[in-house]
Amino acid sequence: MKAIIEIARRNSIFDAARADIAAGGSEDFHLSFESARLLFSELTPARLDLLNTLRKSGPCTVYALAKAADRNYSNVHTDVARMIDLGLIERTEDEMVFVPFDDVEVHFRLAAAA
């Protein structure tokens, strides 16, 4: 399964879901932001690095993730909480965190030439 992150108008996630259903279904996770500015304010380089570190290390505690990423626990905790809210990280019953995706794709269109 992969996460597809894109820039799209509000509520366009429903358009993507309808297209997936029409195409026979997809297990891909879709996350959209209204602008590139918003996307990159939420998915900072540090957060993307955390996703990669967590994917490599496998399920672990936030403390273990902070150690693996060589970052401050408080900052990692904040980043993990936000990425859980966004759906990019999940938490197990025993409080381990993990990335449920094999791949993350970011899509955005450039403005059309005038």
The C-alpha atoms of residue 31 and residue 77 are separated, in whole angstroms, by 21
- The CATH number covering residue 54 comes to 1.10.10.10
The C-alpha atoms of residue 48 and residue 27 are separated, in whole angstroms, by 22
31 neighbors 108 (Cβ within 8 angstroms): no
**The total number of structural domains that make up the chain:** 1
- 79 belongs to a structural domain: yes
- The pLDDT of residue 108 is 79
Query: How many residues appear in the chain?
Result: 114
- 25 belongs to a structural domain: yes
The C-alpha atoms of residue 46 and residue 80 are separated, in whole angstroms, by 11
- The pLDDT of residue 69 is 97
Q: What is the pLDDT along the chain (114 residues), one digit of tens a residue?
A: 899 999 987 655 555 555 555 555 568 898 999 999 999 999 999 999 999 999 999 999 999 999 999 999 999 999 999 999 999 999 999 999 999 999 999 987 777 766
- 113 belongs to a structural domain: no
Angle between helices 62-69 and 45-57 (to 10 degrees): 110
The C-alpha atoms of residue 44 and residue 80 are separated, in whole angstroms, by 12
